[in-house]
Structure 1
Amino acid sequence: MKWIVAALAVFIGCAGYASDIRQPNIVMVMVDDLGLYDLNCYGYKAVDTPNANKLAEEGMFFSNAYAGSTVCTPSRAAVISGQAPARLHLTNHISNQHFAPENPILLNAPEVTALPPETVTFAEKLRDNGYSCGFFGKWHLSRQKPDASNRVVDERTQPDNQGFENNVGGNGNGGPPGGWFSPYKNPYLPNGPEGEYLPERLANEAVAYMEANKDKPFLIAMWNYTVHSPIETTQELTDKYKARKQAGAKVGNPVYAGMVEAADNVLGRLLQKIDELGLRDNTLVMLTSDNGGFNYGVTDHPPLRGTKSWLFEGGLRIPLIVRWPGKVKPGSVSEERVTHLDFFPTFMEAAGIAVGPDQILDGESMVPVLAGTGGMQRDAVYFHYPNYAWHAKNRLGGAIIQGDFKLLNWYDDDSVELYNLKNDPSEKQDLAARNPELAERLKRKFKKWLKDVDANMPVENPEHRDAGERS
């Protein structure tokens, strides 16, 4: 329970912060499926992301940030709760039972199919301490009804019952139900004029909310549907990047590049409004993604191996930029290994809100890193993905990263792979056979973590065993 003691020491120590000055506004922008190298400031030089670039110049750029999981729903659960998806038993898409390949060795681990209503979210903590909390975009923590209504099974799992006073567009869908242009076919987002572009609509809603709540601390959770499929954007942006590609620029997929710029435009609208309201100096702005980038012909992530839904680095590494004037040194770069689990305790410390002993948090505050006064204290980070992804090709397993080393543990045969991420970020050289003692030590540590968080594990498929016996 060292993490509880450490969290209490930090939060109790700063509990008086909010009584002296107004608590900072928090604007969290999460771009769906944005890969580590999909922003101009992270290396995608053919795409224009001036607002992300500006944020990096004025804040802290993280080069070693990780998602809470390799797919949407568990990562979002990690963000909103500060708890490991393994602890929540919310480990994959909602619901994923149809993703298993034909006659697999293992069946999916038992899973929770929506964020449990009793889960304490960072929005609830902020709301209870004087914040106005607005949600805009993709939620994906509720379970959809099995019909065409696009409504959820249990409204208690929706944003407006999880600490937010409003919900603009969030439901259980992984992508925009009606596509990118109005009519949206989303019961949680009234249609706009025909052809209205969804990212622009969400930005309009968010800046209006900021205007209405400017006189008290506010939280804006702008969880964009972009850049998730379907791969489509405005004709103007599509034409721009088609022309750029034809001129010889390394654009990749022009439509996807346009989607990235559209997401950056949303960030720009929020930053502009913050300045208009005179709130820049007291607003923490975070830009990140929910998991590693999508692939399938629209983007890539070399030298990283894998993409969304894989336990390799391409599925787990994410962009992260934080601006907090007066706290974060402009233009600073951090190589600290941070994860989605750290956002909840970071927001609590930033707002001066103490976390009680009954609140389980698996992350730790990033404030010392942001302020340049210290580093992260944990000795390892963990991942548990015991379910098949939508492509049904991934191998069920988990991972531990400690120092420079990453161990993958595959659940079908309990085998391991060991990589030195500092020397081999592409995860090409498996060192397990050459370092059996290190591999075994990390494996034991990982297994202990699985037990500590009461992780659900995949189960053997009796049909597969029977097939083997008959052959």
Structure 2
Amino acid sequence: MKNMLLMMAILLTGAVSGEEQRPPNIVFVMVDDLGLYDLNCYGYKAVDTPHANRLAEEGMLFRHAYAASTVCTPSRAGVISGQAPARLHLTNHISNQHFAPENPVLLNAPEVTALPTDVVTFAEVLRDHGYACGFFGKWHLSRQKTDGSNRVEDERTQPDHQGFENNAGGNGNGGPSGGWFSPYKNPYLPNGPEGEYLPERLENEAVVYMEANKDKPFLIAMWNYTVHSPLETTDALTEKYRARKAAGEKVGNPVYAGMVEAADAVLGRLLEKLDELGLQDNTFVILTSDNGGFNYGVADAPPLRKTKSWLYEGGLRIPMIVRWPGRVKPGTVSEAYVSHLDYFPTFMEVAGIPKDPDLILDGESLVPLLTGTGGIERDALYFHYPNYAWHAKNRLGGAVIEGDYKLLNWYDDDSVELYQLKKDPGEKNDIAAENPELAERLKRKFKKWLKDVNANMPVPNPDYVPPVE
């Protein structure tokens, strides 16, 4: 009897050890165009985001998280490659059009039109180390080409050729191909029942994938099309927030508020599935946005300046929440300056994958910061946006954040602006003239970085006509 009990104890110990050795799952939820202050847990109470709130209560909320770029495609490229968009030469949203203002001093910098196929993605690395990798939603990293009179995708640049074993809805479009309700007119997402809502369809696809791969580590990349334009959600959500606005709550745009809640519901369904499968304690969950918001206005305008397409804080700062049970202390808030470029090395360390010395990564793992065992070692964050966006007549430039200081360098006249972010998050008080030595040092530092990553720069407009004095 004693020997039998000893054998059972050994077998149980082995089973527990084996379970502990299984790499954590990774659930990566990225909401398109979600602004820093669009979530209830970031301070706006007009919209219901209970699942993001739960994530913040159970994990770490970041106050100074930054996108890799101020528009979607370069940000997504930075996320999935761990490389600065400037290094990739993928610096603008994919389009066959250019949106320069009338009589510009500069024209767009040369750019590639898709994530280069030779770039290593975090999905490829995770796949090669035994992860099932599923993609759901907006890709916006693939090349569209003309085939006769039709625009079709270059399949080599699609998610299922970049480390994922599936592609549920991803293509080169920046928004939903045919709208928010089935029929979707998306060749990478079969139509559902008429009127099916796209966020609900994508969450269903993801939970089916999780169920099918529950016995091995998995990556879920839920890259929502919400809350990108066109603004549309279910009648029930629209009416809910119209009623709140009519009652005097600071709702802003009721349709947009409904879209934010719909995106939160997607997160909730994924968390619910993890609970159902008993995987919540061995899953790393991250919620974020691809760039700054677009001022659709859930509530009063936040203090951040400008929106997506601009290098001011409104275009670059994003919400970011991480939950990792047993490793991240619940209910914590971080003021550290972190970036999209940190996700790749973070996922690798979470998965226990050694860093490949031949792999160029411009970010660093956040695991020490998340677990309270260390901090951020780099001394600066860099941004380069040398292209015009369709969303706004933006000014071409770049930025560097060192400590609490942010320097903007505008390319048309090489001028600079300098802000102290924690004192002035709205970037209202340019202190460059008061701090010329600091401004000049940061400017030199930024220009050195541009050379180090071999950044493409905007080109002079040969047809520019100077204004008459």
Aligned to 1:151: 152
Q: CA deviation at 1:470?
A: 9.8
Whether 1:204 and 2:204 are equivalent positions in the alignment is yes
Q: What CA distance in whole angstroms lies between the structure 2 residues aligned with 1:217 and 1:32?
A: 26
Whether 1:324 and 2:324 are equivalent positions in the alignment is yes
CA gap 1:146/1:309 in 2 versus in 1, 3 angstroms: farther
Contact 1:280 1:325 in 2 (8 A): yes
Q: What CA distance in whole angstroms lies between the structure 2 residues aligned with 1:335 and 1:96?
A: 39
Task: Give unmatched runs, 5+ long, in structure 1.
Answer: 1-16
Aligned to 2:442: 442
Q: CA deviation at 1:375?
A: 0.8
Task: Give unmatched runs, 5+ long, in structure 2.
Answer: 1-16
Contact 2:139 2:172 in 1 (8 A): yes
Contact 2:38 2:298 in 1 (8 A): no
Percent identity between the two aligned chains: 81
Q: CA deviation at 1:295?
A: 1.8
AA aligned to 2:222 is M
Q: What CA distance in whole angstroms lies between the structure 1 residues aligned with 2:299 and 2:101?
A: 25
- Paired residues in the alignment total 452
Q: What CA distance in whole angstroms lies between the structure 2 residues aligned with 1:401 and 1:95?
A: 29
Aligned to 1:7: none
CA gap 1:47/1:359 in 2 versus in 1, 3 angstroms: same
CA gap 1:20/1:232 in 2 versus in 1, 3 angstroms: closer
SS at match of 1:55: helix
Aligned to 2:451: 451
Contact 1:24 1:284 in 2 (8 A): yes
SS at match of 2:98: helix
Note the alpha carbon deviations across 1:343-380, whole angstroms, 9 max, x for none. Answer: 00000000010121110000000000110111110000
Contact 2:400 2:406 in 1 (8 A): yes
Q: CA deviation at 1:101?
A: 1.5
AA aligned to 1:117 is T
Q: CA deviation at 1:146?
A: 4.8
Q: What CA distance in whole angstroms lies between the structure 2 residues aligned with 1:69 and 1:146?
A: 28
Contact 2:46 2:298 in 1 (8 A): no
Note the alpha carbon deviations across 1:280-334, whole angstroms, 9 max, x for none. Answer: 1100010000000012566665211011110000000000000000100011111
AA aligned to 1:324 is W
Aligned to 2:41: 41
Aligned to 1:8: none
SS at match of 2:109: coil
My pick for the range that moved more, 198-207 or 18-27, is: 18-27
My pick for the range that moved more, 291-300 or 20-29, is: 291-300
Q: CA deviation at 1:392?
A: 4.8
Contact 2:250 2:300 in 1 (8 A): no
Aligned to 1:21: 21
Contact 1:30 1:222 in 2 (8 A): yes
Aligned to 2:12: none
Q: What CA distance in whole angstroms lies between the structure 2 residues aligned with 1:427 and 1:286?
A: 28
Contact 2:253 2:296 in 1 (8 A): no
Q: CA deviation at 1:195?
A: 0.5
SS at match of 2:336: coil
Q: What CA distance in whole angstroms lies between the structure 1 residues aligned with 2:200 and 2:18?
A: 34
Normalization by structure 2: what TM-score? 0.94
Note the alpha carbon deviations across 1:86-136, whole angstroms, 9 max, x for none. Answer: 000000011264211122100000001100001100000000000000000
AA aligned to 2:152 is R
AA aligned to 1:51 is H
Contact 2:256 2:296 in 1 (8 A): no
Q: CA deviation at 1:145?
A: 3.4
SS at match of 1:112: coil
My pick for the range that moved more, 115-124 or 88-97, is: 88-97
Q: What CA distance in whole angstroms lies between the structure 1 residues aligned with 2:466 and 2:68?
A: 36
CA gap 1:191/1:212 in 2 versus in 1, 3 angstroms: same
Q: What CA distance in whole angstroms lies between the structure 2 residues aligned with 1:46 and 1:106?
A: 42
Contact 1:18 1:352 in 2 (8 A): no
AA aligned to 1:31 is V
SS at match of 1:134: strand
Contact 1:62 1:334 in 2 (8 A): yes
Aligned to 1:9: none
Aligned to 1:311: 311
Contact 1:253 1:298 in 2 (8 A): yes
SS at match of 1:432: coil
Aligned to 1:378: 378
Q: CA deviation at 1:276?
A: 0.3
Aligned to 2:337: 337
Q: What CA distance in whole angstroms lies between the structure 2 residues aligned with 1:90 and 1:385?
A: 10
Mapping 1:173-252, distance limit 5 Å: 173-252=173-252
Aligned to 2:91: 91
Whether 1:286 and 2:283 are equivalent positions in the alignment is no
Contact 2:251 2:298 in 1 (8 A): no
AA aligned to 1:237 is L
Q: CA deviation at 1:43?
A: 1.2
Contact 1:100 1:108 in 2 (8 A): yes
Q: What CA distance in whole angstroms lies between the structure 1 residues aligned with 2:241 and 2:144?
A: 35
Normalization by structure 1: what TM-score? 0.93
